[in-house]
Chains A and B, each alone.
Chain A
């Protein structure tokens, strides 16, 4: 967004944690450029069969809502209160203790009190109380209830698209109230009247039709992967093959498509391909299920299911035994929390057993889907890989726990194990900013677009500053992470706040160190940067 005025880092950091004079109920939202995302384009809504496709933008005065929009939303709310205990409970349970208040990276980065998770939830709760509780109907504002007006709807839109559904707040709440769940419901409700953002709807529409977010067609996927194979050959002298849509393979591998289309994810993808080649894995990738990521998660439960369905369907069609999934954040939230329930049972697959080590992945017994970090950590733990960590000596690495694997799965040690085996200099960021307390990249959940740049830099500031700390203390120059969205969004975040640091995936680090059979003497890493051996 060249037309947008983006504040410089030293201006942006001047954050005041001082709430405005007017009560939050009386403070309308202002759509300031740089802090919101463009509306979902009509063609994408139509492609997915979503309601109210039209031309509009959030900064417009008239949002062209359907005439009965209020009834639609309240009806939708009623339905969701009946379908999800989480929603019903989280509408009632909060004591407004404020323990979650300063935990959200958007609050830390903006000082806007409506970005405190508790208030973000109150935006929805106030309407819930007004229409669904006796006290709210009777006492109104006294018990924190308010009418559903167009202004309230706009406020929902602004703030529910300023939550990356990262769940950090949930870790600190004494009742585990999960703002991500509330935001999901809020976004589902907005969806019912056709209010969503294009960065969420377009990838979903693409994924539905072509199998991946960018809408790349089968030939394009093949070309891209062949291109990566060329690069691998150039760096290592080894030619890896790219099995696609191959029936009868033992394993289906599903990566986030960001890894084969966008730098620096491409290097991570090269890492997967090199690893699988080196251990001689009998696997295939698929053009139909060419996406592990699932923008349905930022949209509605229904959309999650529609997009996720491909993975099992393709595993069945190809006749594989089990599935490995790549380094992706919300893809794993979907696999871990929803996949088997929505699209299972996966009884046509077999219990995942590593063909190299014989390890049975008991923790994936039902979904039959193993995280590549588990798979690789197991290979390393069993001494099946030859690694030369000195090849990463030009890197001083720190690790960003991607929110979803960390807080929706608890996959914390596996990537660390791989990193420690693959490089000599690894430094953790401060305790309050890693593992379950990890800070978001600021642009997940569909917010990683350019028009929203200022808000992204604000939301990502806490993460960036934690990186800056280890840069100053330990001279860190590389940020490893385990999510394809992170690899893109953290890259712009680092350019803005900590330009001396670049971003990589864990399997890029591994592939640098991986000693392959028949390789030539390596003089560069996967990026073509000279090694410092």
Chain B
């Protein structure tokens, strides 16, 4: 149901894009107004969500420890798995964000021979990394549309990305990687029964939307080449706050834009916000030093406790009979 729903949603979006590109006025809005609105929603929404999360206190230190803690001098500790201070906590976070450390640990389980058997399962780690890595490169490559002259490192990146020079125009590795990873992530959700069971509409929609962006982009590059000069005039116009009227950029381009702007505007309210949230995670970002250093809970509420005096009052006779020392005879 969720899968079908998201396919319908994407189809509607595609129809909308077609409708827009058919009308001059609407195309004008899409290329002159919507970019700013989408970008503003994205930026403000992102900041708002981060502030909202960040404004909640972290009353207790609750890092998940994944290795030996700092202890006796001669016991080998693992600062990146069980950080004892801020630097190692930062290191741990970097491992997580850059290399997806936790996913690397992934195992799968099945019952074989009357017992559970664990196997290494690094596929999710591999494709997740491929997906995010490719996405990053693609976004950076797009900078060439927004700056003039193109900064050298963007060119260098593009050259590296197209290193194998397959096809003409060259097929970028990141494009291939992105498509491959998207296909894996999507199929995994559809094929693995328990993942299908837990997936919501939004999970499919996120993947399909990004796929929509990627496919229209690739089609413009390899199948129905877009007028790059017209595109660049337009994008430079956005960047310099003087949106030019759209030239003949084509239907595919309109679709590409529709998908991208939807993605941007939807980003802050969706699960894609994990991009920002991961940095705030108390179990990953904190050091395991609560026995070494005192931490203060900003709202530390008083509670009703049972004092020793009350205890002795209740059990005085019994304590006396047992020969235990008393405060009051």
Chain B nearest Cβ from A415, distance in angstroms? 11
For residue B307, CB closer than 8 A to chain A, the reply is: yes
Question: B300 touching A342 by the CB < 8 A rule?
Answer: yes
For residue B41, CB closer than 8 A to chain A, the reply is: no
For residue B60, CB closer than 8 A to chain A, the reply is: yes
Question: B305 touching A310 by the CB < 8 A rule?
Answer: yes
- The contact of A310 among B273, B304, B306, B327, by CB within 8 Å, is B306
Interface mask (B96-114 → A, CB under 8 Å = 1, otherwise 0): 1000101101111111001
Q: Which of A80-88, A185-193, A231-239 contacts B (4 or more CB under 8 A)?
A: A80-88
Question: A171 touching B64 by the CB < 8 A rule?
Answer: yes
Chain A nearest Cβ from B203, distance in angstroms? 5
Question: B307 touching A174 by the CB < 8 A rule?
Answer: no
Q: Which of A56-64, A216-224, A259-267, A500-508 contacts B (4 or more CB under 8 A)?
A: A216-224
Question: A408 touching B65 by the CB < 8 A rule?
Answer: yes
Question: B324 touching A413 by the CB < 8 A rule?
Answer: no
C-alpha gap A172/B52 in the complex (Å): 26
Question: A178 touching B283 by the CB < 8 A rule?
Answer: yes
- Tell me whether A172 and B71 are in contact in the complex, defined as CB-CB below 8 angstroms, given that A461-B116, A468-B115 are known contacts: no
Question: A410 touching B68 by the CB < 8 A rule?
Answer: yes
Question: A245 touching B324 by the CB < 8 A rule?
Answer: yes
Q: Which residues on the B side are within 8 Å of A310 (C-beta)? A: 305-306, 308
For residue A1, CB closer than 8 A to chain B, the reply is: no
- The contact of A211 among B5, B78, B196, B311, by CB within 8 Å, is B311
Q: Which of B13-21, B30-38, B313-321 contacts A (4 or more CB under 8 A)?
A: B313-321
Q: Which of B163-171, B236-244, B274-282 contacts A (4 or more CB under 8 A)?
A: B274-282
Question: B5 touching A142 by the CB < 8 A rule?
Answer: yes
For residue B66, CB closer than 8 A to chain A, the reply is: yes
Chain B nearest Cβ from A127, distance in angstroms? 14
- Tell me whether A359 and B72 are in contact in the complex, defined as CB-CB below 8 angstroms, given that A116-B198, A144-B201, A336-B290 are known contacts: yes
Number of interface residues of A (CB under 8 A): 118
Q: Which residues on the A side are within 8 Å of B106 (C-beta)? A: 99, 172
Question: A24 touching B197 by the CB < 8 A rule?
Answer: yes
- Tell me whether A367 and B56 are in contact in the complex, defined as CB-CB below 8 angstroms, given that A172-B106, A174-B100 are known contacts: no
Residues of B169-202 whose CB lies within 8 A of A: 192-202
Contact-residue bracket for chain B: 35 or more
Q: Which of A34-42, A269-277, A427-435, A475-483 contacts B (4 or more CB under 8 A)?
A: A427-435
Question: A181 touching B62 by the CB < 8 A rule?
Answer: yes
Residues of A370-393 whose CB lies within 8 A of B: 374, 377-378, 381
What residue of chain B has the Cβ atom nearest to residue A367's Cβ?
B291
Q: Which residues on the B side are within 8 Å of A407 (C-beta)? A: 64-66
C-alpha gap A88/B277 in the complex (Å): 11
Q: Which residues on the A side are within 8 Å of B196 (C-beta)? A: 19
For residue B76, CB closer than 8 A to chain A, the reply is: yes
Query: Do most interface residues of chain A lie in helix, strand or loop, or is the interface mixed?
Result: helix
- The contact of A340 among B107, B202, B290, by CB within 8 Å, is B290
Chain B nearest Cβ from A296, distance in angstroms? 10
Question: B58 touching A85 by the CB < 8 A rule?
Answer: yes
What residue of chain B has the Cβ atom nearest to residue A82's Cβ?
B56
What residue of chain A has the Cβ atom nearest to residue B52's Cβ?
A88
- Tell me whether A341 and B61 are in contact in the complex, defined as CB-CB below 8 angstroms, given that A302-B301, A414-B71 are known contacts: yes
- The contact of B198 among A96, A246, A341, A437, by CB within 8 Å, is A96
- Tell me whether A86 and B282 are in contact in the complex, defined as CB-CB below 8 angstroms, given that A413-B68, A414-B75, A435-B67 are known contacts: yes
What residue of chain B has the Cβ atom nearest to residue A178's Cβ?
B283
Chain A nearest Cβ from B281, distance in angstroms? 5
Q: Which residues on the B side are within 8 Å of A219 (C-beta)? A: 318-319, 321-322
C-alpha gap A147/B291 in the complex (Å): 42
For residue B223, CB closer than 8 A to chain A, the reply is: no
Q: Which residues on the A side are within 8 Å of B65 (C-beta)? A: 406-410, 436
For residue B247, CB closer than 8 A to chain A, the reply is: no
What residue of chain B has the Cβ atom nearest to residue A431's Cβ?
B118
Question: A89 touching B277 by the CB < 8 A rule?
Answer: yes
Chain A nearest Cβ from B121, distance in angstroms? 9
C-alpha gap A378/B196 in the complex (Å): 51
Residues in chain B within 8 A of chain A (CB atoms): 1, 5, 49, 52-54, 56-62, 64-72, 74-76, 78, 81-82, 84, 96, 100, 102-103, 105-111, 114-116, 118, 124, 128, 192-203, 269, 271, 273-274, 277-278, 280-284, 288, 290-297, 299-301, 303-308, 311-312, 314-315, 318-319, 321-325, 327
Task: Pull 9 A–B residue pairs with CB atoms less than 8 Å apart, ordered by A.
Answer: A19-B196, A96-B203, A133-B269, A144-B201, A288-B312, A302-B303, A310-B305, A407-B65, A465-B115
Q: Pick the 10 closest A-B CB pairs, nearest first.
A: A410-B69, A176-B283, A410-B65, A219-B322, A176-B284, A410-B82, A19-B197, A85-B56, A465-B115, A432-B118
